[in-house]
Protein backbone atom coordinates (compact mmCIF):
# COMPACT_ATOMS: atom_id res chain seq x y z
CA UNK A 1 0.00 0.00 0.00
CA UNK A 2 1.12 3.56 -0.75
CA UNK A 3 1.27 6.06 2.10
CA UNK A 4 0.28 9.69 1.61
CA UNK A 5 2.72 11.47 3.92
CA UNK A 6 1.04 14.88 3.70
CA UNK A 7 -2.67 15.49 3.28
CA UNK A 8 -5.11 18.07 4.62
CA UNK A 9 -8.46 16.46 5.37
CA UNK A 10 -10.08 19.21 7.48
CA UNK A 11 -13.85 19.72 7.48
CA UNK A 12 -13.39 22.90 5.40
CA UNK A 13 -12.19 20.72 2.51
CA UNK A 14 -14.23 17.59 3.23
CA UNK A 15 -17.38 18.94 4.89
CA UNK A 16 -19.36 17.16 7.58
CA UNK A 17 -21.47 15.06 7.92
CA UNK A 18 -19.62 12.92 5.35
CA UNK A 19 -16.20 14.26 6.25
CA UNK A 20 -13.19 12.68 4.54
CA UNK A 21 -14.48 9.09 4.71
CA UNK A 22 -15.45 8.88 1.03
CA UNK A 23 -12.05 10.21 -0.01
CA UNK A 24 -10.34 7.73 2.32
CA UNK A 25 -12.38 4.87 0.83
CA UNK A 26 -11.44 5.98 -2.71
CA UNK A 27 -7.81 6.13 -1.58
CA UNK A 28 -7.96 2.59 -0.25
CA UNK A 29 -9.52 1.36 -3.48
CA UNK A 30 -6.66 3.03 -5.40
CA UNK A 31 -4.01 1.36 -3.20
CA UNK A 32 -3.31 4.26 -0.85
CA UNK A 33 -3.64 2.81 2.64
CA UNK A 34 -1.84 5.18 5.01
CA UNK A 35 -2.05 8.90 5.75
CA UNK A 36 -0.15 11.55 7.64
CA UNK A 37 -2.91 14.06 8.25
CA UNK A 38 -1.72 17.65 8.62
CA UNK A 39 -3.60 19.90 11.02
CA UNK A 40 -2.74 23.57 10.57
CA UNK A 41 -4.81 26.75 10.51
CA UNK A 42 -5.39 30.11 12.15
CA UNK A 43 -6.24 28.30 15.39
CA UNK A 44 -5.75 24.75 16.69
CA UNK A 45 -9.12 23.40 15.49
CA UNK A 46 -7.59 21.73 12.38
CA UNK A 47 -4.85 20.23 14.57
CA UNK A 48 -7.45 18.78 16.93
CA UNK A 49 -9.44 17.48 13.95
CA UNK A 50 -6.32 15.77 12.57
CA UNK A 51 -5.64 14.09 15.91
CA UNK A 52 -9.29 13.00 16.19
CA UNK A 53 -9.15 11.46 12.71
CA UNK A 54 -5.89 9.66 13.51
CA UNK A 55 -7.44 8.30 16.74
CA UNK A 56 -10.42 7.04 14.78
CA UNK A 57 -8.28 5.01 12.32
CA UNK A 58 -5.05 4.53 14.29
CA UNK A 59 -3.67 1.73 12.14
CA UNK A 60 -3.90 3.86 8.98
CA UNK A 61 -3.39 7.47 10.02
CA UNK A 62 -1.12 9.66 12.09
CA UNK A 63 -1.39 13.39 12.64
CA UNK A 64 1.04 16.29 12.34
CA UNK A 65 0.19 19.46 14.23
CA UNK A 66 1.65 22.91 13.87
CA UNK A 67 1.35 26.46 12.61
CA UNK A 68 1.84 27.12 8.90
CA UNK A 69 4.07 30.06 7.94
CA UNK A 70 1.00 31.74 6.40
CA UNK A 71 -0.48 31.94 9.90
CA UNK A 72 2.76 32.70 11.76
CA UNK A 73 1.35 35.79 13.50
CA UNK A 74 -1.26 33.75 15.41
CA UNK A 75 1.36 31.83 17.40
CA UNK A 76 1.08 33.26 20.92
CA UNK A 77 2.70 31.82 24.05
CA UNK A 78 -0.66 30.37 25.03
CA UNK A 79 -1.14 28.68 21.65
CA UNK A 80 2.39 27.30 21.75
CA UNK A 81 1.67 25.72 25.14
CA UNK A 82 -1.53 24.14 23.79
CA UNK A 83 0.28 22.97 20.68
CA UNK A 84 2.96 21.42 22.82
CA UNK A 85 0.38 19.42 24.79
CA UNK A 86 -1.30 18.30 21.56
CA UNK A 87 2.03 17.34 19.98
CA UNK A 88 2.70 14.87 22.81
CA UNK A 89 -0.35 12.82 21.88
CA UNK A 90 0.75 9.29 20.87
CA UNK A 91 -1.14 9.55 17.58
CA UNK A 92 0.85 12.66 16.59
CA UNK A 93 3.79 11.58 14.45
CA UNK A 94 5.33 14.98 13.72
CA UNK A 95 5.23 18.70 14.37
CA UNK A 96 4.29 20.88 11.41
CA UNK A 97 3.86 21.89 8.84
CA UNK A 98 6.03 24.83 9.76
CA UNK A 99 8.58 26.87 7.86
CA UNK A 100 8.91 29.88 5.60
CA UNK A 101 6.88 31.06 2.62
CA UNK A 102 8.29 34.22 1.04
CA UNK A 103 6.27 33.66 -2.14
CA UNK A 104 2.89 34.51 -0.59
CA UNK A 105 4.35 36.36 2.41
CA UNK A 106 0.97 36.05 4.16
CA UNK A 107 2.71 36.80 7.45
CA UNK A 108 5.66 39.18 7.85
CA UNK A 109 9.07 37.60 7.35
CA UNK A 110 10.20 38.14 10.95
CA UNK A 111 7.02 36.56 12.33
CA UNK A 112 7.56 33.55 10.07
CA UNK A 113 11.12 33.08 11.24
CA UNK A 114 10.12 33.42 14.89
CA UNK A 115 7.26 30.88 14.57
CA UNK A 116 9.58 28.49 12.72
CA UNK A 117 12.28 28.70 15.41
CA UNK A 118 9.81 28.27 18.25
CA UNK A 119 8.23 25.21 16.65
CA UNK A 120 11.60 23.57 16.00
CA UNK A 121 12.34 24.03 19.70
CA UNK A 122 8.92 22.52 20.48
CA UNK A 123 9.62 19.51 18.26
CA UNK A 124 12.91 18.95 20.07
CA UNK A 125 11.15 19.17 23.45
CA UNK A 126 8.57 16.56 22.49
CA UNK A 127 11.10 14.49 20.53
CA UNK A 128 9.15 14.31 17.27
CA UNK A 129 10.22 14.95 13.66
CA UNK A 130 9.44 18.14 11.78
CA UNK A 131 7.39 18.69 8.62
CA UNK A 132 8.91 21.66 6.77
CA UNK A 133 7.07 23.89 4.30
CA UNK A 134 9.46 26.10 2.31
CA UNK A 135 8.76 28.34 -0.63
CA UNK A 136 11.04 31.02 -2.11
CA UNK A 137 13.10 30.94 1.09
CA UNK A 138 15.75 28.23 0.59
CA UNK A 139 18.70 29.91 2.34
CA UNK A 140 16.81 31.05 5.44
CA UNK A 141 15.05 27.68 5.74
CA UNK A 142 18.30 25.71 5.80
CA UNK A 143 20.05 28.25 8.06
CA UNK A 144 17.25 28.15 10.64
CA UNK A 145 17.10 24.33 10.61
CA UNK A 146 20.85 24.26 11.21
CA UNK A 147 20.90 27.04 13.84
CA UNK A 148 18.03 25.56 15.84
CA UNK A 149 19.50 22.05 15.98
CA UNK A 150 16.68 20.48 13.95
CA UNK A 151 18.98 17.57 13.10
CA UNK A 152 18.30 16.19 16.58
CA UNK A 153 14.78 15.18 15.49
CA UNK A 154 15.06 15.40 11.68
CA UNK A 155 12.00 15.30 9.50
CA UNK A 156 10.86 15.93 5.98
CA UNK A 157 10.96 18.72 3.42
CA UNK A 158 7.39 18.43 2.23
CA UNK A 159 6.27 19.19 -1.33
CA UNK A 160 9.86 19.33 -2.52
CA UNK A 161 10.24 22.11 -5.09
CA UNK A 162 13.85 23.21 -4.72
CA UNK A 163 17.03 22.07 -6.48
CA UNK A 164 19.85 19.60 -5.97
CA UNK A 165 22.14 21.80 -3.84
CA UNK A 166 19.22 22.45 -1.48
CA UNK A 167 18.38 18.75 -1.42
CA UNK A 168 21.98 17.85 -0.50
CA UNK A 169 22.01 20.25 2.42
CA UNK A 170 18.58 19.13 3.62
CA UNK A 171 19.65 15.47 3.52
CA UNK A 172 22.80 16.36 5.49
CA UNK A 173 20.62 18.07 8.10
CA UNK A 174 18.60 14.87 8.57
CA UNK A 175 15.63 15.77 6.40
CA UNK A 176 14.01 13.40 3.91
CA UNK A 177 12.52 14.70 0.66
CA UNK A 178 8.81 14.32 -0.01
CA UNK A 179 7.55 14.61 -3.59
CA UNK A 180 4.07 15.91 -4.40
CA UNK A 181 2.11 16.36 -7.65
CA UNK A 182 4.69 18.98 -8.65
CA UNK A 183 6.96 16.13 -9.78
CA UNK A 184 4.40 15.31 -12.51
CA UNK A 185 4.56 18.84 -13.97
CA UNK A 186 6.62 19.15 -17.15
CA UNK A 187 8.16 22.44 -16.02
CA UNK A 188 9.63 21.06 -12.80
CA UNK A 189 13.04 20.09 -14.19
CA UNK A 190 15.01 20.56 -10.96
CA UNK A 191 12.45 18.48 -9.04
CA UNK A 192 12.72 15.71 -11.66
CA UNK A 193 16.50 15.75 -11.28
CA UNK A 194 16.30 15.44 -7.49
CA UNK A 195 13.64 12.69 -7.62
CA UNK A 196 15.87 10.66 -9.94
CA UNK A 197 19.00 11.21 -7.85
CA UNK A 198 17.93 11.16 -4.18
CA UNK A 199 18.92 8.13 -2.06
CA UNK A 200 16.18 5.51 -2.05
CA UNK A 201 15.99 5.43 1.73
CA UNK A 202 15.38 9.20 1.97
CA UNK A 203 12.35 9.77 -0.27
CA UNK A 204 8.64 10.00 0.52
CA UNK A 205 5.56 10.82 -1.53
CA UNK A 206 2.49 12.91 -0.73
CA UNK A 207 -0.52 14.61 -2.29
CA UNK A 208 -0.74 17.83 -0.21
CA UNK A 209 -4.46 17.30 -0.77
CA UNK A 210 -6.58 19.37 -1.44
CA UNK A 211 -3.86 21.27 -3.34
CA UNK A 212 -1.59 20.42 -6.26
CA UNK A 213 -3.44 17.62 -8.03
CA UNK A 214 -0.96 15.71 -10.19
CA UNK A 215 -1.11 15.40 -13.96
CA UNK A 216 -3.41 14.06 -15.50
CA UNK A 217 -5.83 15.39 -12.86
CA UNK A 218 -4.36 18.86 -12.53
CA UNK A 219 -6.92 21.51 -11.67
CA UNK A 220 -9.19 19.18 -9.71
CA UNK A 221 -9.48 19.18 -5.94
CA UNK A 222 -6.68 16.85 -4.96
CA UNK A 223 -7.34 13.87 -2.68
CA UNK A 224 -5.16 11.02 -1.37
CA UNK A 225 -6.25 8.57 -4.12
CA UNK A 226 -4.37 10.73 -6.63
CA UNK A 227 -1.08 9.68 -5.03
CA UNK A 228 -0.82 6.84 -7.55
CA UNK A 229 0.02 9.33 -10.33
CA UNK A 230 2.82 10.89 -8.31
CA UNK A 231 4.15 7.43 -7.43
CA UNK A 232 4.18 6.41 -11.09
CA UNK A 233 6.10 9.52 -12.10
CA UNK A 234 8.70 9.21 -9.33
CA UNK A 235 9.20 5.51 -10.11
CA UNK A 236 9.67 6.28 -13.82
CA UNK A 237 12.19 9.03 -13.07
CA UNK A 238 14.16 6.59 -10.90
CA UNK A 239 13.91 3.72 -13.36
CA UNK A 240 12.13 1.58 -10.77
CA UNK A 241 8.86 -0.31 -10.75
CA UNK A 242 5.92 1.23 -8.90
CA UNK A 243 5.98 -1.85 -6.66
CA UNK A 244 9.58 -1.20 -5.67
CA UNK A 245 8.89 2.49 -5.03
CA UNK A 246 5.80 1.59 -2.98
CA UNK A 247 7.79 -0.82 -0.84
CA UNK A 248 10.65 1.62 -0.33
CA UNK A 249 8.55 4.70 0.46
CA UNK A 250 6.32 2.72 2.83
CA UNK A 251 9.39 1.54 4.70
CA UNK A 252 10.77 5.10 4.78
CA UNK A 253 7.44 6.39 6.11
CA UNK A 254 7.42 3.79 8.85
CA UNK A 255 10.95 4.71 9.85
CA UNK A 256 10.25 8.45 9.79
CA UNK A 257 6.71 8.62 11.13
CA UNK A 258 6.09 5.18 12.62
CA UNK A 259 3.30 4.56 10.14
CA UNK A 260 2.73 2.60 7.01
CA UNK A 261 4.47 -0.58 5.95
CA UNK A 262 3.20 -3.78 7.47
ZN1 LIG B 1 2.97 23.16 2.67
ZN1 LIG C 1 0.35 21.16 3.54
Q: How far is the CA of 163 from the centre of ligand 2 (A)?
A: 19
Q: In this structure, which ligand is nearest to the CA of 99?
A: 1
Residue 70 has what pLDDT? 98
Q: In this structure, which ligand is nearest to the CA of 94?
A: 2
Q: Which residue has the higher pLDDT, 68 or 10?
A: 68
Contact 41, 69 (CB under 8 A): no
d(CA 161, CA 171): 14
Q: How far is the CA of 97 from the centre of ligand 1 (A)?
A: 6
Average of pLDDT values for 43-59?
Answer: 95
Q: How far is the CA of 132 from the centre of ligand 1 (A)?
A: 7
Kindly tell me if the per-residue pLDDT of 247 is higher than 60. Answer: yes
Kindly tell me if the per-residue pLDDT of 260 is higher than 60. Answer: no
Phi–psi pair at 158, nearest 5 degrees: -80, 155
Q: In this structure, which ligand is nearest to the CA of 135?
A: 1
Kindly tell me if the per-residue pLDDT of 261 is higher than 80. Answer: no
Kindly tell me if the per-residue pLDDT of 52 is higher than 90. Answer: yes
Q: Over the stretch 78-114, which tens digit does the pLDDT of each residue have?
A: 999 999 999 999 999 999 999 999 999 999 999 999 9
Q: Over the stretch 165-181, which tens digit does the pLDDT of each residue have?
A: 999 999 999 999 999 99
Q: How far is the CA of 168 from the centre of ligand 2 (A)?
A: 22
Q: How far is the CA of 206 from the centre of ligand 2 (A)?
A: 10
Please report which confidence band the pLDDT of residue 258 belongs to, taking 50, 70 and 90 as the band edges.
confident
Kindly tell me if the per-residue pLDDT of 24 is higher than 50. Answer: yes
Residue 86 has what pLDDT? 97
Q: How far is the CA of 67 from the centre of ligand 1 (A)?
A: 11
| Residues whose beta carbons lie less than 5 angstroms from ion ligand 2 | 38, 208
Compute the mean pLDDT over every residue in the chain, rounded to the nearest whole number.
96
Q: How far is the CA of 6 from the centre of ligand 2 (A)?
A: 6
Q: How far is the CA of 135 from the centre of ligand 1 (A)?
A: 8
Lowest mean pLDDT among 6-20, 76-90, 143-157, 182-196: 6-20
Average of pLDDT values for 126-134?
Answer: 98
Q: How far is the CA of 17 from the centre of ligand 1 (A)?
A: 26
DSSP class of residue 40 equals -
Q: Which of 125, 131, 134 is nearest to 69 (CA)?
A: 134
Residues 6+ apart with CB under 8 A from 76: none
Kindly tell me if the per-residue pLDDT of 259 is higher than 80. Answer: no
Q: How far is the CA of 199 from the centre of ligand 1 (A)?
A: 22
Q: How far is the CA of 56 from the centre of ligand 1 (A)?
A: 24
Could you give the percent of the chain with pLDDT greater than 90?
A: 92
Kindly tell me if the per-residue pLDDT of 17 is higher than 90. Answer: no
Q: In this structure, which ligand is nearest to the CA of 41?
A: 2
Please report which confidence band the pLDDT of residue 257 belongs to, taking 50, 70 and 90 as the band edges.
very high
Kindly tell me if the per-residue pLDDT of 262 is higher than 60. Answer: no
Lowest mean pLDDT among 100-109, 136-145, 210-219: 210-219
Q: How far is the CA of 27 from the centre of ligand 1 (A)?
A: 21
d(CA 83, CA 43): 10
pTM of the model: 0.96
Amino acid sequence: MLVDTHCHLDPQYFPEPLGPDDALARARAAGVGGFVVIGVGTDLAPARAAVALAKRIPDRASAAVGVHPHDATVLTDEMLAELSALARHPQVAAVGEMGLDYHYMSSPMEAQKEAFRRQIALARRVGKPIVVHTRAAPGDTLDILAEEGAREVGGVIHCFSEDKPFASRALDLGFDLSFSGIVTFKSAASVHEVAAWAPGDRILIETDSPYLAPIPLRGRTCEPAYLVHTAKRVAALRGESVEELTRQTAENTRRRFGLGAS
